[in-house]
Amino acid sequence: MTVHNIEPHFNWRDLYKAEEDPASPFFEREYSEFEYTNQVYNYLLHPQWDDIGSNTLYLKILFTDYEEGFTIFELIGEWNDAINNDVMLLKRDIAELLMEDGINKFILIGENVLNFHSSDDSYYEEWFQDVDNGWIAAINFQEHVLHEFRHSHIDYYLNFGGELDNLPWRKFSPQQFYQKVKEVLSRRLPA
């Protein structure tokens, strides 16, 4: 496995950089292109991924729009709630900070999430309740990860399935991507 070559999506960097956003949890973070310090197990990660306090799950905030109230996260690694309580870290240390500034729609891109290990669903339920009139969408997660989401009843709180499981998001601008996800969810969720 060569995860050190997998960079976060960079085509939107001229539109948004989390390290330049004063409301971002990663404001003023500096990145190296040469020092590989983060890793998932024995596999080094590209230094552009952000550490959220987990030993196995990393992310990049690709875009945040405070007027529309949405953010887009790209994830990499293993989502492990059983050992690391990754959802707690994601919710408490990242999502809640953004929610303070009006974000209530979360798009989680998970094509680089290798595995999922569940614990209980209390943080998912809490996050779902906290977004109020918003939502949490899981995009392009691998089928075995989605199976574990369903088995753990996380599908009560995260929206995935259908078009959301195979969405060619890279061809869109962030706003177009958001509109596409919103359109799909508007057919599923009550107004």
Q: Which domains does the chain have, with CATH numbers?
A: 3-186 (3.30.750.24)
Which of 147, 148, 158 is CA-nearest to residue 189? 158
Query: Which tens digit of pLDDT belongs to each residue from 111-140?
Result: 999 999 999 889 999 999 999 899 999 999
Phi and psi (nearest 5°) for 18? Answer: -60, -35
pLDDT at 191: 54
Pairing type for strands 70-80 and 57-65 reads: antiparallel
Q: pLDDT tens-digit profile of 176-191?
A: 999 999 999 998 766 5
Mean pLDDT of the chain: 93
pLDDT tens per residue, range 30-76: 887 777 778 888 788 888 999 999 999 999 999 999 999 999 999 99
The predicted pLDDT at position 38 comes to 81
β-sheet bridge partners, residue 58: 51, 76
Strands of the sheet with 57-65, listed across from one edge = 50-51, 57-65, 70-80, 105-117, 135-139
pLDDT above 60 for 2: no
What pLDDT sits at residue 43?
80
Phi-psi region of 68 (alpha: psi -120 to 50; beta: other; left: phi over 0): alpha
In this predicted structure, what is the pLDDT of residue 3?
Answer: 65
Asked if pLDDT for residue 171 goes beyond 70, the answer is yes
pTM: 0.94
pLDDT top residue among 32 and 12: 12
